[in-house]
Structure formats: C-alpha cells, structure tokens
Structure 1
C-alpha cells in the first residue's frame, strides 16, 4: 500500500508540473489560469493511425508511408524525388543533373525500395510506367523488371495531393514486378471554397520557380469541383566543388527549363456516383553535361595533352608519334580484308604496316582513352554540354477520364479511359577534330618529332580548344564544326492507352 501511495503521489506531482508548464503565469497574481486546449480528430487518419487516401482500400498490407499535401507545402518540395527520398529505404539512381540519356540507360532514371528495383509507378491508382518500355534495365527468370521511370517528369508538384509509398511484397497485388513496392501519386481535387495560390522562388545559379494554382467548386449544390495549376522551373549552369583539389567549377550544360499544366474536374452526382476528368501536360529541355570535369586537369596545358593523346596518339620525348605495333602476323587479314606488312624498325625490332585496299602503307598509332591511361580524359566531355549545348527533351500529354458508378464499403466500382503519350529525344554533339586521319596528318608533317611551339600551334589549328579558355576561339570552333546541337527531328515515343473496368463488392 505504501508503494501504491508513493506512486500516486509521484504521478500527481508530474501532472502538476505538466499543468503549470502549460499555464499562463502573472507574477502579480496568486492564481494560475490554464490555457484552453481543443482536441480534434484527424480526418485523414483512421482509428489505427493510418493515413487514409483514395487508394487505401486496395492495399494488401506491407509498410505504407504517406507524404501529405501539408508536408509538401511546409517543406516546399520542388519535385517528386525530393519529396519521396526522405522516406527510409527509397533510393534513386540518376545522373546527378536534370537531363541525361532519358530512355536509354536504366541507371540514369531508376528507383528502388529497400534495394529492390521491381517498383511500379501509379497516378491515382493507374499505372504510368510502360511495361513495354525500352527502359528495362534488368530482369529475372520470372520476367519482372527494373523500373526506369523518371519521376520528376511524371507530373508537377502543384498537382500532387499525396504520395503513397508501399514497401515490399504487400504491393504484389499490382503484379510480379511490384515486389519491391509501389509509388502512388494522388492528384489534387478542388475543395468546397474557391482558393488560389502563387508560389515564387529564386536562388543561386539563376534558379527560378513560378507556380500558380486555383481550385474550388461550382454549381448550385457545389457538386462540381475543379483544380487548375501551371508552373515553370528553370536553372542556369550549376557550380560544384571538386573533391580532389577543392576548387569550385561550373558544370557546363547543367541548365534546364521545364513547364507544366494540370487540370482536374470532378462531378459528384451523389455519395456513390462521380465523374473525374484529369489532364496532365509537362515538357522540358534539360542540359546534358555528361560528366563533371576534374579540376586538377582542367587547364590549357593538360587539355592540349589530353585531347592530343585521345585524338592523335601518344608522343615520345621528341614529340614523335609512337606507333602501336600491335599486329604480329605478316600478311594476316582481318574480317574487313585489311592486310599487314612486316618491316624492321630503327631499333632493330619488327613492326607492321597496315595496307589499304590499294596496297598503300598506313601506320597506326597509340591512342589513349579513359582516365586510367589518359588522366583527365573525361574532361573532354565538357565540349558536349558547355560548347555544343547537348540536351535532352521530353513532352508528356496524359488524359484520364473515370466514371465511378458505385461505392461499397469504401471500394469503388468504375470504368476508366486513359491515354498516356510520352515522347523524348536527346542530342549529344561534340567534335574533337575536323581531320579525317589526324594521326597520319601529324606524322607526315613531323615524322621525326616537333618542337613544343610547333606542337602547340598544330593543336591550336586542328583540335578543339579548351572550353575554359578563350571563349571567342571556342565559339569560332563550334561554328566551324556545324554549330550547336540541333533540335530533334524524330522522337522516341511511349504510349499507354486503354480501358479499365473495376467492379468491387464487399461480402459480409
């Protein structure tokens, strides 16, 4: 009994401290006035504490996380990946910049949940990733695939009401390729009152965001609901800090510009019947920088050395080309019919000429590619994004019309007609030299080697200039080699069209 009284007394002391902590205190009074506290139920949660969404009744268990509209606005997420990646276990594989080889390399636009890439993407419960897409990066014997959908190109953040992430095999009701999980994007519906918003943001690197939305209801009974939004996101080239030397550089070609429009109209006939018409448009032109330059080698001297080794060949101490000597069989023919002829080199060893169709002797020289043999080699890709403006483009047009004719215990029976039309293209342009055979051109001019000045002048006359150097010379080179990357004349297309019928009935 003594222990019980002691515990009760301790509990009263704790309650007393809690009460005083939430009270308003005036030092001139001897009384405490408790603040009024109102407790309200959370309308979006059920009795188990789960967040309720339009798709809640179609789950089959598993770990479910929901990102609400309130969180999206409070944290000011600007795209879908930024919002979703805060959920533990969800990772994205992307190139680190906005554009890229969209549609070609699955590792550029992949998503995985707890390490499993068998993830499908839904919008309002409708699948938006294309099962027949060429963006299939891996498969298993059961035929499941790794998704390659670029989430940031699905829809705009202003159009998103909630994002539901289902982890694990509990999402397998959607198919065998959903064993990793499901990401369901639920769009916004107009409310009872008319309201609008304008969102303006700006930051470093000429990054700007403009967005506006307007929603509400219409009709004598407010049974019509509408939501309209439009946005533009854009940015100039971003800067980065080099991990080797610590210098700050600019990633040429990392600029981007994307626009979007969303419209959703709903008609509520009664508690069980409704109509939804949804339209989504999004397009973008994203820079294509390919690789981040290594600042250790990003200077005029190293550029000349790197581009010469990659385009012309390797030099000895006298700036004479080193022949590769890789052919070891006299008179051997390759599949194309090329012949080789043996000769004795000046050091007494044997070498081999390459003979063309007319029997003319053509030497081949050691060309170095890759950072292992030619340190800083990937700096050459700075030409693609910075000088030639390589880019990727996409344009999405999506329609979705759904008539719900019954609801039973929260489950909908409906018929849906949808048309998903996505197209994309990319332009990767670069030109290191205009010479058809730079190795033999150099060797014919300097068969015994060249001075440092002669070598520097030859590089200046025949190879692409350093992108971080003389900008006038760089512009002249681009014009001489055909100009910047041109607009696409053809597109890769993904179309997903169909009719969906669902009849749901609760038994018991």
Structure 2
C-alpha cells in the first residue's frame, strides 16, 4: 500500500514487492548484474514459478518479442523481458497487488505463476506538491518532485505528476573471503524518470484516463566484484598470462601438451589457455578492466496509455484501451587484455623466451604486453589511452516497441461475473551490434 511504501521509504519496485511472501527476484551483480536488462538477471518468480506477468494499471508491460532481451533468440516466455525496476517511479505508485498461483491464469498461459499489478496514483483534492531529497554514502543522491490535485466542475479531472532523479558514484563492497572493503570501479549510475496520470470523470459510469511513464538511465558495467584474495600484482600477472597467452612451467616457459601437437590451430602443441576460476583461480578479476574502461548499459523507456471506460458496475469495468510501449537499450563493453592479440602474444613470448625466463623477465614482459594490474593507476591510464581510450559511443542496440488495442466487456449477474476481453498488439524487436572486427550483426523479430 501507499502507506507502507512511504513508511519504509522504498526507492524501487523490487525492494517493495520482495517483501511479499513467496515473491523472489533474481538480481545478481550490481544494479541487475551483467547487462542490467538481461532476463536472467532481472527474473521474478512467485512460489518458485517464473511464469509471472507484470501489469501497470491492468495493462501488460511485457513485449512478446523480448523473450530474452540482449539476445536475438525467438525463444523464451514473454514475461521474462521485463525489468520491473524500469516500469515506473515509486512516487507514482498507489499500491501493488500480487495474485499468486493458478488463479492468475486468466491472464494467459504465461501467468500460471502469478500476476503483479502495479496501480499508479490518481490526483485528488486541492493542489498540493512535495519534494523529497535524500543523500548517502558513495555520493548517492535522490531528488523527487510530486504534484497532484483535481480541477474542473465537481473536481472531475484529477492529475498526478512525478519527476525523479537518482545517482551514485562507485559503490563499495565487502569481500566474502578476506573481509576487506574495496571500491567497485565502474559501478556508478544515474537514472531519471517522469510519470503523469490524468483522469476525467464524465459521470459515475464513464471516464477517460491517460497515463505516461518515462524512465531512462545509464548504469556502469562492472560485471563482477574482484576477489581480494587474488588482488595483487603477482596473481594478476599469472591470471592474465594464463588466460591470454597460455600456461607456463616453473621456469616461465610455455607448456606444451602432446594432445595438441600438429593441430591446425596450434601446430606447436602449446597447452590450452586457462579460463574460469576453477582452472585459473581469480580469473574473474580480469573483468575489473571493463569497469575501469567505463563500460556501461543505457535504457530509455516510454509507455503511454489511453483508456476509455464506457460502463462500470461496482468494481467491474467495460473499457477500450489504446497503448504504446517504446523501450530502447544500448551500451558498450570495452576492455583490452593484450595489444597484440592472443595468438600473436603467445608467438611473441615464445620467440623471446624459447627456453624460459627469469621472474624479472617474465614480469617485465607481462607489464609491457598485457593489461597492467589496475592498482597501478598511472600504468592503467596509459594502457587505456594506448588501446582506444574509455568506452565511447554504443556498439550494441536493442529497440523494441509494442502498439496495441484492448477491449473489455463485463457484466454482473447476481453472484456471477462475466468478463470478455480481446487484446490485439503488434510487437517488434530490432537488435544490432558491432563486433570487435567491425562486422555488424542485426536481427528483426515481429509478431
């Protein structure tokens, strides 16, 4: 309810809804994890069932082409494409209803887990406004403005408008192994939103409602928190060499493996490079470079809705609705582990040290040819400048839209409710990305 939202000072929709027993969110990583809008990082389930539909004022906010945003695949359920924190601002919410289990199946086969209906606030009474300012650690700031009221004869026209801006610099985290507190570079973010709802009552049975929800943001892309256990220059050299060049023995000579001798890709038979934390402990520390390069994800959503209620019987409404959803996602993930490229780096090292190297020689070669340990700030700044600079314009885009019309007719017959509903929509998802070699890959899905 609105009372609880204000009492607990919830700042996003996820924070509020997960208080409901049985509702679970999958939000790994920082602000939604890798590529904040991926379905597997923003999933919602009710009592363990992920077939959940999200509504705003009774209108679905999913797009039937976005089974897996961030991927051009046509598979997946429709509801998984919704990042619930990007739907609307908390100040615009009156209450949130959660319907659990098969009772929600009237909304479709993908709603057997349940339905979350976010109901926005309606303006009433005399003109009033409020300003909510908050600040906290890591230069986190929040600004919220709300204006509402009613006008016209018998206050027949209500309006409710909110505007919000939130931002934060790089956050800190506590390492689970060592207990150290460190800064998560590249985790800063900024989001802005605007919501408006206008209601006009013609009479007790007929009304017109217009609503607009706009939200945009730019979130840092740190991918994962580095493991402080392996956060030192020596481990960094080991990790990045194993991952980018190959394995080495105690004499810092490239290892060979009989299984790979004389293969087309590896005629020298070098042992394979090591990926993953199980084979190369601390491997995921390399992803810290993405944050230092300023990698980011951006989104911009605009949802508009016009609803004419032509008959009302108690809580039962007969209405016609027109709606349009426009969602845009873009971003860039930038990093460079080696100036030469993996294969060229391996050949260069093998040529320089065919019989092995000393510790000093190994360290010097790694520091000259592979990305430096991020705590060496000056060296890292120089490396970034020499490898293309900070993340610039986006190199991946996902544009989805949905235009629809909905008609509902209801009647109350004694103790019985009759509901007839038809919803027709046209949805489109266009994705485009530029690969590291300059190739452009695109796809277009329409339903």
TM-score (norm 1): 0.77
- Alignment partner for residue 260 of structure 1, among 179, 193, 209? 193
Structure 1 unaligned regions, length at least 5: 1-67, 138-142, 328-351
Matches within 5 A, 1:369-380: 369-380=275-286
8 Å contact kept, 1:262–1:279: yes
Question: Offset at 1:95?
Answer: 2.1
Matched with 1:457 is: 364
Matches within 5 A, 1:58-457: 68-102=1-35, 105-135=38-68, 147-327=80-260, 352-354=261-263, 362=268, 364-385=270-291, 387-436=292-341, 437-457=344-364
Tell me the alpha carbon deviations over residues 103-134 of structure 1, each in whole angstroms, 9 at most, x when there is no partner. 87432110000000010000000000122213
8 Å contact kept, 1:99–1:287: no
Over aligned residue pairs, what C-alpha RMSD do you find? 1.9
8 Å contact kept, 2:332–2:395: no
Matched with 2:421 is: none
Which segment is superposed worse, 145-154 or 280-289? 145-154
Question: Offset at 1:362?
Answer: 4.8
| C-alpha distance in 1 between matches for 2:131 and 2:396 | 36
| C-alpha distance in 1 between matches for 2:384 and 2:32 | 22
8 Å contact kept, 1:263–1:278: yes
| C-alpha distance in 2 between matches for 1:144 and 1:179 | 12
| C-alpha distance in 2 between matches for 1:489 and 1:265 | 38
Question: Offset at 1:207?
Answer: 1.0
8 Å contact kept, 2:259–2:269: no
As a proportion of its length, which structure holds more strand? 2
| C-alpha distance in 2 between matches for 1:255 and 1:379 | 19
| C-alpha distance in 2 between matches for 1:131 and 1:355 | 44
TM-score (norm 2): 0.87
8 Å contact kept, 2:142–2:167: yes
Query: Structure 1 residues 454, 118: CA separation in 2 closer, same or farther (over 3 Å shift)?
Result: same
Matched with 2:385 is: 479
Question: Offset at 1:471?
Answer: 1.2
Moved over 6 A (4+): none
| C-alpha distance in 2 between matches for 1:102 and 1:128 | 20
Question: Offset at 1:489?
Answer: 5.5
Aligned pairs, number: 407
Query: Structure 1 residues 355, 421: CA separation in 2 closer, same or farther (over 3 Å shift)?
Result: closer
Structure 2 unaligned regions, length at least 5: 71-75, 415-447
| C-alpha distance in 2 between matches for 1:282 and 1:504 | 33
8 Å contact kept, 2:246–2:254: yes
Query: Structure 1 residues 220, 200: CA separation in 2 closer, same or farther (over 3 Å shift)?
Result: same
| C-alpha distance in 1 between matches for 2:313 and 2:251 | 86
